[in-house]
Amino acid sequence: GAVVSQHPSWVICKSGTSVKIECRSLDFQATTMFWYRQFPKQSLMLMATSNEGSKATYEQGVEKDKFLINHASLTLSTLTVTSAHPEDSSFYICSAVNGRGRGAYEQYFGPGTRLTVT
Amino acid sequence: DAKTTQPTSMDCAEGRAANLPCNHSTISGNEYVYWYRQIHSQGPQYIIHGLKNNETNEMASLIITEDRKSSTLILPHATLRDTAVYYCIVRARDDKIIFGKGTRLHILP
């Protein structure tokens, strides 16, 4: 099946610094990628939709200047949390849509990245 | 907002069939029923999906009522590794996935 990876799997950073999370589709080209955030004991919340070569579309209430998304190629999207604060500590999960061929339109999820801001 | 309603939690004895219900009374004609699960601290895992016919794969079976307003996910022989949160989602094929609260399934030894 289609594989989506994330790097790093966990990261600890100091308050005020920025941290970048990578999402890669390993065996297919992803025309669209999504970023979700999940707080403890809560469901996944969609943050933004990322289309290759264009600006990301953010969900209501998500600060686009704080959560920078870049989808520079069909296999890579990055989420940068700028000026991180403890309240940004969360589990960040990406997903990728296979744009063509068998499995087209199916959404595959990465393993997640746990961010802790101290 | 999620378009589905699921029980908050369920218990099932190991080795028995786990039947997880989902209500989706406002489902549209072009929307599929998808099931994902999330084991603790992992990304969601695809289980199965269907439009109107019942579906079966190596993981589970999906039973969709004739009016498509509800469905049931069946794990035929539950094991401890099936302990997870199960999400029922309705979406058109090219729609983004919006997660509801899901059902927390506990498999009891």
pLDDT at B1: 54
| Confidence bin at A56 (pLDDT 50/70/90) | very high
Read off φ and ψ for residue B28, nearest 5 degrees.
Answer: -95, 165
CA distance A58 to B85: 26
| Confidence bin at A25 (pLDDT 50/70/90) | very high
pLDDT at A52: 83
The CA dihedral of A20, A23, A29, A34, to the nearest 10 degrees, is: -90
User: B89 to chain A, minimum CA–CA distance in Å?
Assistant: 12
Count of A-B CB contacts under 8 Å:
44
Chain A residues touching B87 at Cβ < 8 A = 43
CA distance A63 to A23: 20
Chain A residues touching B38 at Cβ < 8 A = 44
Among residues A4, A40, A44, A1, the alpha carbon closest in space to that of A21 is found at: A4
| B interface with A, Cβ–Cβ below 8 Å | 36, 38, 41-46, 85, 87, 93-94, 96-102
Chain A residues touching B99 at Cβ < 8 A = 36, 43-46
DSSP string, B20-50: EEEE-TT--TTPEEEEEEE-TTS--EEEEEE
State how beta strands B9-13 and B103-108 pair: parallel
CA distance A34 to B23: 26
Q: What tokens were used for B90? A: 């309705």
Structure confidence by residue, pLDDT tens digits, B16-67: 999 999 999 999 999 999 999 999 989 999 999 999 999 999 999 999 999 9
Structure confidence by residue, pLDDT tens digits, A41-55: 999 999 999 988 888
Angle in degrees, CA A21, B103, B100, rounded to 5 = 55
Q: Does A2 touch chain B (CB under 8 A)?
A: no
Mean pLDDT score across all residues of chain B = 94
Structure confidence by residue, pLDDT tens digits, A95-105: 998 866 555 56
User: A49 to chain B, minimum CA–CA distance in Å?
Assistant: 8
